[in-house]
Amino acid sequence: MCLGIPGQIVSITDAGRQMGMAEVSGVRREVSLAPVADRPLEALVGEWVLIHVGFAMAVIDEHEAQETLIALRELGEAQEALEQMAEGDRALAGVHAGEGTA
Amino acid sequence: MRYVQEFRDPKAAQGVLRAIEAVCTEIGCTADDPLRIMEICGGHTHAIFRYGLDKLVPAGIEFIHGPGCPVCVLPMARVDDCVEIAEQPGVIFCTFGDAMRVPGTRKSLLQAKADGADIRMVYSPLDALELARRNPDREVVFFGLGFETTTPSTALTLQQAKREEIGNFSVFCNHITVPPPIRALLEDPHMILDGFVGPGHVSMVTGIHCYDFVADEFGKPIVVAGFEPLDLLQSVLMVLRQIAEGRAEVENQYARVVPEHGNPVSLAAIADVYEPRPSFEWRGLGEIDASGLRIREGYRAWDTEAKFGIGYGARPKVAEPEGCACGAVMTGRMKPVACPQFGRGCTPDTPLGALMVSSEGACAAYWTYGGARAVAAAE
Ligand code: SF4
C-alpha cells in the first residue's frame, strides 16, 4: 500500500477525468494522471510513472523504473501490487474477492 | 558481510559499509553505547530485514523501528467501526487488502466477510467510486487508510465524487500524518534517538520541509531515503556524517523521486478535502495531537462518519490483548522476539497484534526474515 510501483503510460483514456492506461509489469491498468498533470496529458504517453493505489504520483526515468521494479520484486511487493490490481478488477466485476482465486 | 552478495551492486554496498564503519569509529559508538537511528517508514523496516541491514552495519548502530505502518497503528476501535458499517444492509464496504486481517474486538474484516458482509478488496479508491457508479442502489464506503502517500488518492477521489455528484459514495477517513508522531517521540523523555531515516514515498507528496522541526527544534539529523538497500545504507551514512560533524539538517538522499516541495496537485487536494482532527489515537502510542485527518464540512455528504453517525472517539478505547507488547515494540523499548506472544499466540497466520499483520510491521518482518537468517548464520 505504501510503496509505489512503476508503470509506463501507453495512452490517454479519458482526458476529462485525467485518466490514462498504464502498463505495469505486463498488466494494463487504468490510472489517474491528475498528480502529474502539470503538463499536457499527451506529453505523458511513453513516460514512466510511480503508481500508488491507482494514481500516478511522480514521473521517473526509465532506469529508475527498472531498478525500482527489481527491488520491489525482491521485496515481494511487486507481486502484491499486481495481485491487488487483479483483486480490484474482480471486485468491480462483482465477484466477491477471494472466490475462484485458488 | 555474507549478505552483501545479495545486492545488485555488492561493490558499492561494501564501499558504503566501509565508510559507515570509519565514521562509527570516528564517533566512537559501540554495541554497549550505540547510536539509535529510527527508520520511520514500514517499507524501510521491511527492506532492513529483507536484506539483513541491521546485521550488516557495525554493532555501534541500532535501528529503532518507527510507527510508519498505517495498518499497525490503527486503533482497534476503528476496526470495530469498520465491521459495524460493513454489516449494515445495503452497504458495499471497500478496503485495501492490507487491512483485512487486522483484529478487531469482535472480528476482523476478513471474518465479517466470511459471515456474509459485502466487503471488497480494491486496489484503488477509484475502484470503489466505480462500484458506486455501477450500483446506484447500494451505499459504497471506502475505508481511507494510510499516510500522506495514500491521502491524495482519497482526496482526489472525493473531489471526483463531488464533481459527478455521486451520492452513494463516502470515505471512512482514518488518514494519519507522519510529522506529529515524530514530534511525540522526540518529546518523550524515555525515547533517546540520535537521528532519523525519513520516509521516501510520503516525502514525494509532502516534500522535505515538513521535517525541518526535527533538525531546527530538536537538533537531530534526518535523511529522506529510497527503499532499496543501497539507498538505506547511503542514508545511514549521511546521518552518521551529520552526527560526526555536529550538524543537524534535513537531507534528501532520494532526490531522484522526492522533489523538495512535494507534489503540488496532491497537496492542494489534501488541503481542499481534509483538515486535522484535534487528536487521533495511535495503537501503542496513544492520542497524538493533530495527527489524524477528517473530512471538511464542504465534503460532508461524502463523509462516512456523518452519513452513518459514527463520530471519532465515540467508542470506548480498547485495551490491547493480554500479554501483547505491541506498544513497547512500537516505541522501540522492546524487540519483537522479546514479546511473550511472538511466535506463540501471535504469528502472521493468527496475528494477535497489528505489527504481525502487515509485511511492513516490525513483528512480521522479524518473523519472516529472522528465521531464515538464523539458519544462514549457523551455516
Ligand atoms: S508479537 Fe504480536 S503481540 Fe507481540 S508485539 Fe508483536 S504483534 Fe504485538
Min mean pLDDT across A71-80, A90-99, B43-52, B335-344 is at A90-99
Subunit contact A2:B118, Cβ cutoff 8 A: no
CA atoms within 13 A on the CB side of A47: 20
Name the band, by pLDDT with cuts 50, 70 and 90, for residue B371: low
What count of other Cβ atoms lies within 10 Å of the Cβ of residue B30?
Answer: 13
Express each pLDDT in A16-68 by its tens digit.
999 999 999 888 999 999 999 999 999 999 999 999 999 999 999 988 888 88
* Helix B125-134 and helix B151-163, axial crossing angle in degrees, nearest 10: 30
Residues of B with Cβ-Cβ distance to A55 under 8 angstroms: 124, 126, 152-153, 156
Under a CB-based contact definition with an 8 Å cutoff, are residues B150 and A52 in contact?
Answer: yes
Contact flag A4-B201 (C-beta cutoff 8 Å):
yes
By DSSP bridging, strand B286-289 and strand B250-252 are unpaired
CB neighbours of B195 closer than 8 A, spacing ≥ 6?
A: B35, B37, B38, B220, B221, B222, B223, B239, B240, B242, B243
Gap between the Cα atoms of B19 and B4, Å rounded:
15
User: Cell digits for B194?
Assistant: 540520535
The model's pLDDT over B297-334, given as tens digits with 9 standing for 90+, comes to 999 999 999 999 998 877 777 777 777 888 888 777 78
List Cα–Cα distances, A35 to A66, B262, B349, in angstroms.
Answer: 21, 11, 37
CA distance B93 to B124: 13
Residues B66 and B284 sit within 8 Å (Cβ to Cβ): no
How far apart, in whole angstroms, are the C-alpha atoms of residue B93 and residue B82? 8
CB B284 within 8 Å of CB B318: no
- For β-strands A5-14 and A48-52, DSSP reports them as antiparallel
Kindly identify which residue of chain A lies nearest to residue B229, measuring between CA atoms.
A71
> Helices marked H in chain B — which ranges?
10-27, 42-50, 53-56, 70-73, 76-86, 109-114, 125-134, 151-163, 179-187, 200-206, 212-216, 229-244, 264-273, 304-308, 326-330, 362-378
φ and ψ of A82, to 5 deg: -65, -40
Closest residue in A to B41 (Cα–Cα): A2
Mutation probe of ligand 1 site: the residue of B346, B349, B359, B368 with most atoms within 8 A of C-beta? B346
Quote the pLDDT of residue B320: 74
Q: What is this model's ipTM? A: 0.87
- B162 φ, ψ to 5°? -70, -45
Among residues of chain B, what percentage have pLDDT more than 90? Answer: 64
The average pLDDT across B214-231 equals 95
pTM of the model: 0.90
SS3 category, B193: coil
Polymer length of chain B = 379
